[in-house]
């Protein structure tokens, strides 16, 4: 019963970060399945990618209805990300054979770093999808496409990181505001996740049907609700909510895996500091 509660939590948590910030579902699903449920990291990444397919598609559609997606330039980046994902999936398979828990630990560390990034350097400015057309040059699009290859590789390798890296490219290189960056990112992540999931399954990933369905369904529902909230939410508040959720989530998953008294104390202190400093409580 406890494991099934974890599956529900993993799906809902993944849906929240996907809908709010366009992040990969793996930043939540992989650490919980590996750190708490004892899954092999490669199998956990496969489930995360499967959840990403539907959750990202639904999230992208919600942002599209609110005119927060750049279809033209996003499609160009998606093509290069597609190539990188195939290569990354194969590399991730080889890595998982020698370091079974390696991908899980990478995802745990990534979760904390992403949370701190949103809190320390929130994304509050940028162009909307319509005004950005006048400011985007061919050189910026080409640079974004090159970055897409690397992002696809990372997503295929670890099953995470693609969403936030897409956000970085679209905000710093293209110059979108946070909502357009999230919408365009989830559109691309739908294709990237599809390619990654197929690659993982074809390479022998073992997927448990019932737990996987629970995770995916929870992720899809939470992503839809969160995406609707994000499109109506103030950008500054959105950054703070996402940053705090990711930071604390990352620490919790590490606590569950390491079970060290010193680590517990450090994580509790850091969590309290984050909550108080950013006046979330």
What's the pTM value of the predicted model, to 2 decimals? 0.73
Give me the pLDDT at residue 158, please. Answer: 63
Position with higher pLDDT, 19 vs 174: 19
Six token digits for residue 82: 């597609």
Mean pLDDT of the chain: 76
3-class DSSP assignment, residue 22 = coil
Average pLDDT over residues 259-266: 53
- Tell me the mean pLDDT in the region 31-39: 81
pLDDT at 40: 82
- Whole-angstrom CA distances from 25 to 15, 51, 120, 209 are 7, 7, 22, 18
Mean pLDDT of 192-218: 84
Provide the Cα torsion 258, 260, 262, 265; round to 10°.
80
- Structural domain count of the chain: 1
Tens of pLDDT, residue by residue over 127-149, are 665 665 566 777 888 888 888 88
pLDDT of residue 281: 40
3-state secondary structure of 40: coil
% the chain with pLDDT above 70? 71
> What range defines the domain where residue 9 resides?
2-277
Which whole number is the average pLDDT over 70-77?
Answer: 83
| Dist CA 162 CA 170 (whole Å) | 12
* Contact assessment for residue 242 and residue 15, using Cβ atoms and an 8 Å cutoff: no
In tens, the pLDDT along 239-249 reads 777 777 767 76
The dihedrals phi and psi of 127, each to the nearest 5 degrees, come to -90, 155
């Amino acid at each position: 019963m406890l494991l099934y509660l974890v599956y529900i939590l993993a799906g809902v948590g993944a849906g929240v970060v996907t809908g709010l910030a366009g992040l990969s579902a793996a930043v939540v699903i992989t650490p919980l399945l590996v750190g708490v449920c004892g899954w092999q990291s490669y199998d956990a990444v496969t489930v995360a990618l499967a959840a990403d397919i539907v959750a990202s598609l639904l999230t992208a559609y919600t942002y599209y209805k609110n005119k927060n997606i750049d279809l033209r330039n996003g499609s160009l980046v998606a093509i290069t990300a597609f190539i990188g994902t195939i290569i990354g999936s194969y590399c991730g398979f080889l890595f998982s054979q020698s370091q079974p828990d390696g991908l899980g630990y990478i995802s745990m560390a990534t979760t904390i770093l992403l949370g701190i990034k949103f809190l320390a350097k929130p994304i509050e400015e940028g162009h909307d999808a319509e005004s950005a057309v006048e400011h985007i040059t061919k050189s910026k699009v080409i640079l974004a496409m090159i970055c897409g290859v690397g992002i696809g590789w990372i997503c295929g390798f670890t099953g995470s990181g693609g969403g936030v890296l897409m956000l970085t490219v679209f905000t710093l290189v293209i110059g979108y505001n946070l909502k357009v960056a999230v919408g365009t990112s989830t559109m691309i992540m739908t294709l990237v996740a599809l390619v990654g999931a197929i690659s993982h399954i074809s390479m022998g990933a073992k997927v448990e049907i019932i737990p996987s369905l629970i995770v995916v369904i929870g992720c899809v529902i939470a992503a839809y609700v969160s995406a609707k909230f994000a499109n109506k939410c103030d950008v500054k508040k959105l950054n703070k909510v996402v940053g705090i959720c990711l930071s604390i989530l990352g620490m919790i998953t590490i606590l569950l895996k390491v079970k060290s008294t010193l680590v517990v104390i450090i994580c509790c202190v850091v969590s309290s500091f984050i909550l108080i400093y950013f006046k979330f409580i």
